[in-house]
Amino acid sequence: MGADWNGFEDSRVQGFEADGPRHAEGPAAPIGVFDSGIGGLTVVRALRRLLPRESIVYLGDTARLPYGTKSAETISRYAVEDAGFLVARGVKLVVVACHSASSVALDELARRLDVPVTGVIRPGARAVVAATRANRVGVIGTRATIGAAAYERAIRAERPNVEILARPCPLFVPLAEEGWTDDAVAEAVARRYLEGLRGEGIDALLLGCTHFPLLAPVIGRVLGPGVALVDSSEATAAEAARLLEERGLLSAGGQPRHRWYLTDLHPGFESVAALFLGEQPGEVLRASVAGSGE
C-alpha cells in the first residue's frame, strides 16, 4: 500500500458518545466486525461465504495491536471504543473477531450495545465440543490466548468432563501473514508444535486464532485424517447467522457493500488481506477511534 491510503476518515469515538450512535436500519444494515489487527479478516471471509447478501464494516485497530499483551481493563476499553466506531456506522450486529477482546469484554459490550454481539470463543468452543466423539480435544492459539485459558473455560462450560490439550503456536501468525502457509517451512513449524498431540487421542482440534485457518492444510497433514479441524471463524459466522435470523435481521437481498477501516497504516495490507479474504479488499479508509490515532 506504500505511504498512501485509498481514503481517509478521522472519526473519534469516546465509547459511544462522541458523535452518537446511528441506530441500525433493520435487515439492510451492515454487520460490524472488529479485531486488533487483520486476522479478523478470516471471520469476514467466513461471513461472506455463509451470508453473501450481507454488507460488512471491518475495523482493524492496527494502531494499538496487539491486545493480548494489555490488561483486561485496557482491552475492555479498546473493545468499547471499537464497537462504538461500528455502532456509529449503523451496524445491526457486532462481531468481536479478536480472541483477547472476546475473552474479557463480551459482557461489557452486551450491556452497552443496543445490537446483538458475538465473539469468537464461545462459538468455537461449542463447535469443537460438537465435533468430538472421544471427549478429548486439542486447542491451539497464540501464547496470550492459551495462557488466558479462555477456550478451556468456554469448552468446559459446554461439557465439563471434556479433556483438553492446549498448545501455543505463536509462529503460525507471521507464517500466515507472510503467505507461507503450505510449504516446507510451515510443515516443519507445524510438526515442531503439534507432534506432541499425535497419539494423545484427540479427535478434534480447535484453531483458536483467526490466522490459523490459513494453515489448515498443513495442520491436517501433521495430525492426520482422524482429527477434525474446527475453525473458530466458521463457527463465529454460523453464530452470527443464527443471531440475525432469530431477530429477523437477515438481508433480503441487494448488492452488498463492504467498508474497510484501519487505525494505522499496515505495510502491504492489500497483499496480506488478499490472503485472508481470498480477494483484494477494495478501498481502505483510515480511521481514528479514541486514543488510536494519538
Cell of 62: 492496527
The amino acid present at 291, given as its one-letter code, is G
Task: Give, as one character, the DSSP assignment of residue 26.
Answer: G
Residue 98 appears among annotated catalytic residues: yes
Which residues is 284 bridged to in the sheet? 260
Q: Which of 139, 205, 209, 244 is catalytic?
A: 209
Please say if 169 is a catalytic residue: no
Beta bridge partners of 58: 33, 260
Set of cell numbers at residue 123? 462459538
Cell of 289: 477511534
Residues near 208 by Cβ (< 8 Å), separated by ≥ 6? 99, 121, 124, 139, 140, 141, 145, 146, 151, 232
- H-state helical runs in the chain: 41-50, 72-87, 99-104, 106-112, 121-131, 143-148, 150-158, 172-178, 184-194, 216-223, 232-246, 269-277
**Beta-ladder partners of 140:** 167, 207
The residue annotated as part of the active site, out of 24, 87, 98, 290, is: 98
- Give the three-state DSSP class for 246: helix
Catalytic residues: 98, 209
